[in-house]
Each structure stands twice: as structure tokens, then as C-alpha cells.
A and B are shown apart, each in its own frame.
Chain A
């Protein structure tokens, strides 16, 4: 969709972002040493650090992606909230404290402190870099989505804007300022989302969610005869690619506008309206089309896309329980029970292609509310079936990867080093879990609110949350967009920090053995930050069509496959060898990355296949690699460790060093 920017929204937006950046620069001036740049002098208060954990974690993906996913597939989006939070349990109970006492700056340091192996330094450095970049993609892409409705820019311009701003922040500041950015943004995000949730509950559900400022186009279901007999309209012949398709197309003679209608059965009609049509009357449901011609020109419903011809926003309830048209204010429990008994209109897409170009037809898809409030309502439809389905494995794999992923994320782990001791790290984590958990509960209300507020853009569901706020006025819209944008800035700067730390510290200084003093180290870190920023911008543009939450799920898969086996075994198995760790990191990372690259989702979203072609072309039966690649990492680590037991364990290395010391 095209959007026009509103002046008040833009002013609030820039004021907000500007003040956060100003603060970041001010605080950043105080950090000069390498210790200060990478780890904030180890002196950040645990409460601030805890909220900053939330700030780091509640990225564009949590906010934009999960809301978008819940808005399109209900509970299946909420699974991400559950899994993302559960991951903190692994981080807190299993990894947090032992790690704090092992490391100095980065995850690689912690792994390496036992072994002093260059191989580990390299493998861990590369994995931190790959995971950070993979996690950066959705943040960048989300930023692009955010800029579009707010400032009216293209997605690509949005990505570039964020990339440049963030790279600037990182280059001029460091860990102290990113912590403060995260703290401010983390608190504001949770606070304003709570307010938005109250606004949703206070409004309740309506079958026509429109307001006088922002009317809603109510999609119709009508008898075929009625549609065909409209005055001033002619029926287009069903020829070429349209032959045999279930559509009726009408063209308005005066304007050239084309409306497309899908033939629907009695069941469909029964779901969306109370009174059944007379028997034997063929019924049609209004659809929307985007036609892209040979020259890439876009036509919406037959007219060139522009101010007067654009897609109608979607997302409404067709039927509320008891035939009501609005519910009035609802309590949290009623919010769910009412939706459970309602019928919601979701949208699905069909592509029709001929010599002149490609038409995407978006059709109404009435869905019972009770299906949307269960796992398997949207993305994981296979859960509904009895017996074995690949969707079930996919679901389990996702839940496993999210569970294991949090503790394996480089930019989360780095925060353990910014407080002074174990007790402070623990308290920080608890504050983090509290803020994040509360926020994730809010995501259900925001997501379901977006699903039923008539503001969704089905060409980009990542915008669901800010567009939902727009339903309640320009002010909430501007505030939520500004927070989301700062969210992106904060997360991205944290990630670029982690990536530049990995390269400057682990790969350049430790692996390649380049001697650098503090100033040079910081300079190298900054140079790397610029390169990482550019790579992330490019990928953010390539992965535009993906839900950003889904992309983060992939980053979790890769992080968990590469890092978790090494971390866990190092902490809990004395027989772990340096070769075992190095190989497991590389195998986990490469196998999960390869899996993602040959999955059906990538074939469709990146390589441009249609859904059917992608299903045929894919080399793996489901999209989430974790259930295969995480155990694979463990297995490889154990096997290699057993094979190299004599030389590689910490005890063997220590014995050798002691012997050397005696000999000298």
C-alpha cells in the first residue's frame, strides 16, 4: 500500500528519536577505553541492565513480527512469545552464572578461557558474526516496514535510513550508550503497549471497526445476479488464465475500475451472515487484486496504484456472538471468549499469471475464532490432523529452537558482562524476564486487536502494530512508531556491537594475533561495525517479504545449533575437548544455515518461486532446522571429544602446561 505521512506524526517521531540519540551521544562521550566501549566498564546498575535486557530482546521482531503474526494466524504467532520467553529460563538457570565467571568480553572468551585454542576463537567469532547478521536482517527489514506508513518512504529507503543512523550511533558511542538507549526504549515500549491494550479492551469488538476519521470498507457477500446486474458495469469474459477460475470480474465503464468476486459456497455464507441465502442462488464474496504488468507497473483493482486507487485495509469480524454489531468494553477473559465464538475474516492469496503479467488475488477467508485461539490455527495447520504430519515436527522444532536460542544469542550474552557480579547478573535477568513476560502477554491483545481493527495491510503484515495504533488516532500512531523505530535502533546497535566485538576481539586480535592497543582495538571495532551495517542493510532489503518474527525464529535456530551444544557441554561435561567445541560450533552453524537456505520458505520468499514450485524445489521436509541441527551439534561435540580426549581436554592441557613449567 502507499501511505501519506501526517505532519504531527512526523514531528513527534523525530522529537522522540532525536532525544534518545542525543542522550546516547552524551553518555557515549564518557566511554573511552576498550573495556568501556565493549563492556560498559562492568558498572551498570542491575535494574537498568535488566530493563536493557528487555530493550535488547524486545526487538523489532518481538514487537512488529509477533503482532503481525498473531494478526494473521492467531495463536501460532503467540507460540513465538511463549518460546522466546521460555528461552530465558535456560539462560538464567543453566548458563548465566557459570558464564559470568568464565568470560571477559564475548561469548568466545568464555568458551576459550579453558582451552586457549585459536580454533575455538575463530569458530566462536564466526558464529557470533553469522548469528548477529542473521538477527540483524529482520531488524533492518522491520525498520523499512515502519518507515513506510509513517514518512511515506519506500521500504528500501527505510532500511538505508536505519542502517546509517545505527552505524553512526555505534561508531560514536559504545556499550554504555547502547545500554541507556535500551533502557529508555524498553520501559517506553512496555508502558505504551499496555496503554494500547487498555484502549483495545475499552473499545471491544465491532463488525465495522471504522471510525469517522478512518472509515472501513466493509467487504461484501452478494448474490451473483445482483453483482452482474449493476448499472454502469460490464462483466469481463473469463478467458486466458482466468478461464476455469472461481472468479467473476466486473469493470466500471466510467473509471475502468475492476472489482473481482470469488464464487463461494453455502458454508462460507453461513459463516459470515446469519440469514441463509435462498437455495440455489450462486453467491460471491468481494476480493481485491494487485496486477503487476511486464514493466513492473502496479494496478490495484484495475487502476494504476496511487492515492485514489489503493488496497482497502483489512481485518474484521464478520459475526459476533448473538448477532451483535459491537460488544462495548471487554475484560481480558471476555476478550478471548467473545473472539472464540466469533467469525473472523482472514485473507488468502492466489496468483494468476499470463503473458501480460501477474495478478495476485486476495480473497476473504472466514475463520472460526476458536481455531485462531489454538496452536495450529494458522501457520501450523498440520497440528489439527490426527497422526504424523511434518507440520507437527516443524512446530516442535520451532519450540525447541526458541527454547534453546535465547541463551545462545551473542548480544544477549554480552549483557552479562555489563554488571559487576553474579548476583547482579541474576537480578538483572529477573527484571528482564518480568518486563519481557509482561510485554509478551500484551502481544496477544495487540495481535488480536490488529486482526479485528480493519487496519491491516496484507502486502506487509509487519506493520500491523503501528497501523493498529493508527486506529486510535495520529498521536498513538506516532508514539508507537517512534518507540518501534528506537527499538530497531537499539537492537541493531547492540547487535552491531556484538558483531564488531566478535571480529575485532576474537578474530583479529586473538585468532590472527594482530597486536592492538586499546585505541586501535576500538578503531578496528568501529571499522567492522560499518561493514556489518552495510551487509545487514543489503540483506534487509532482500528479505523484505518475510515476517520479521519468522526471520528471528531462524536466527534462534542458528544460534542454538551453533552455540548451545558448546556452551552446555563446556559447563557440564569434563570430557569436552577444544576440537569437540570447534567442530560442533562449525557443524551446528553450517548445517542450520544450509537448512534455512534450501527450505521452502526461502525458495518462495527469496528466490521468487511460487508456493507450489517452492514446495517441490525444497530439499528439506520442514522449515525449522532446530530439531535436527541442535542434537547434531551435541552429537558431533561428543564424538569428536571422545576421539581427541588425550590431547584436547582442559585437564590434559593443564597437565601439559604444568609439565612444561617444570621442565623449564
Chain B
């Protein structure tokens, strides 16, 4: 509820702000990866056709995007500080 934004303990507020900032940074990292894939598909499709270790770049990039999503999510979980973890639930 709205009171959580104004009435949270300073510690919790700090943690939430920090988490939000980390989230946005990681979001833009992923956006760059995803945008890169879209740009290659539209502008330089020939790059996607090249083979690296027997498999073409398109497959590697596509699977890479899926793996990257999980990797970034794990990074996020590790970086997030959560004073509310042990506290009472929202």
C-alpha cells in the first residue's frame, strides 16, 4: 500500500531503493543483449549464419539470451540486500 513507500523503516527503504537500482542496471544490460539480437536479425543477418564450433551464431545467441536471463536473475538475487527477509511479511 502507499504507506509502505513513505512509512517504511529507513533501513528497509534504503534496501528497496538499492534493489531497484540494481534491477534497472541489470535490466539495461539485458536490453542491450536483446536489442543486439534484434539488430543483427534485421541489419546483419549474415553474422547470425556464421558457424562457431559447428553451431551457427543464431542458435548460440538465442540459447545465450535464455541462459543470460537466468544468470542475471541469479546475480540480482545475490546482490539484493533484504532487511525484510526475516521480518514480518508484507
Bound Cα distance A423, B15 (Å): 11
Task: List chain A residues, Cβ under 8 A from B38.
Answer: 395-396, 399
Task: List chain A residues, Cβ under 8 A from B53.
Answer: 333
Mark contacts of B44-55 with chain A using CB atoms, 8 A cut-off: 1 yes-contact digit, 0 otherwise.
010011010111
- Nearest-Cβ distance from residue A650 to partner chain B, whole angstroms: 8
Task: List chain A residues, Cβ under 8 A from B56.
Answer: 336, 340, 370, 373-374
A-side residues, CB < 8 A to B, are 42, 75, 78-79, 81-82, 85-86, 88-90, 92-94, 97-98, 100-102, 104, 113-114, 333-334, 336-337, 340, 370, 373-376, 383-384, 392, 395-396, 399, 403, 420-424, 426-427, 429-430, 433-434, 437, 440-441, 444, 650
Which residue of chain B has its CB nearest to the CB of A337? B54
A97 and B84 contacting across the interface, CB-CB below 8 Å? no
Task: List chain B residues, Cβ under 8 A from A101.
Answer: 1, 4-5, 16, 90
A422 and B30 contacting across the interface, CB-CB below 8 Å? no
Task: List chain B residues, Cβ under 8 A from A88.
Answer: 69, 73
Task: List chain B residues, Cβ under 8 A from A434.
Answer: 70, 73
B19 and A97 contacting across the interface, CB-CB below 8 Å? yes
Given A97-B16, A333-B55, residue A113 in contact with residue B2 (CB < 8 A): yes
A392 and B42 contacting across the interface, CB-CB below 8 Å? yes
B-side residues, CB < 8 A to A, are 1-2, 4-5, 16, 19-20, 23-24, 26-27, 30, 34, 37-38, 41-42, 45, 48-49, 51, 53-56, 58-59, 62-63, 65-67, 69-70, 72-74, 76-77, 80, 82, 84-85, 87, 89-90
Q: Name B's interface SS.
A: helix
Besides A86-B69, A374-B48, 16 other CB < 8 A contacts?
Answer: A75-B59, A79-B62, A81-B62, A82-B37, A85-B69, A90-B27, A94-B24, A94-B27, A114-B2, A337-B51, A375-B45, A392-B42, A396-B38, A420-B90, A421-B89, A437-B70
- Nearest-Cβ distance from residue B33 to partner chain A, whole angstroms: 9
Q: Name A's interface SS.
A: helix
Given A423-B82, A433-B69, A441-B66, residue A93 in contact with residue B41 (CB < 8 A): no
- Nearest-Cβ distance from residue A663 to partner chain B, whole angstroms: 22
A422 and B84 contacting across the interface, CB-CB below 8 Å? yes
A437 and B54 contacting across the interface, CB-CB below 8 Å? no
Bound Cα distance A376, B90 (Å): 47
Task: List chain B residues, Cβ under 8 A from A337.
Answer: 51, 54-55
Given A94-B24, A337-B55, A340-B56, residue A89 in contact with residue B45 (CB < 8 A): no
Bound Cα distance A370, B1 (Å): 53
B82 and A336 contacting across the interface, CB-CB below 8 Å? no
Task: List chain A residues, Cβ under 8 A from B59.
Answer: 75, 336, 373, 444
Task: List chain A residues, Cβ under 8 A from B90.
Answer: 100-101, 420-422
Which residue of chain A has its CB nearest to the CB of B86? A423
B45 and A433 contacting across the interface, CB-CB below 8 Å? no
Task: List chain B residues, Cβ under 8 A from A42.
Answer: 89
B58 and A86 contacting across the interface, CB-CB below 8 Å? no
Task: List chain B residues, Cβ under 8 A from A104.
Answer: 1
Given A422-B84, A441-B63, residue A92 in contact with residue B48 (CB < 8 A): no
B77 and A430 contacting across the interface, CB-CB below 8 Å? yes
Bound Cα distance A587, B23 (Å): 29
25 interchain pairs (CB within 8 A)?
A: A75-B62, A79-B62, A85-B65, A85-B69, A88-B69, A89-B72, A89-B73, A93-B24, A93-B26, A98-B20, A101-B90, A102-B1, A334-B54, A336-B55, A373-B58, A375-B45, A376-B45, A383-B45, A392-B42, A395-B42, A421-B90, A423-B85, A429-B73, A433-B73, A650-B2
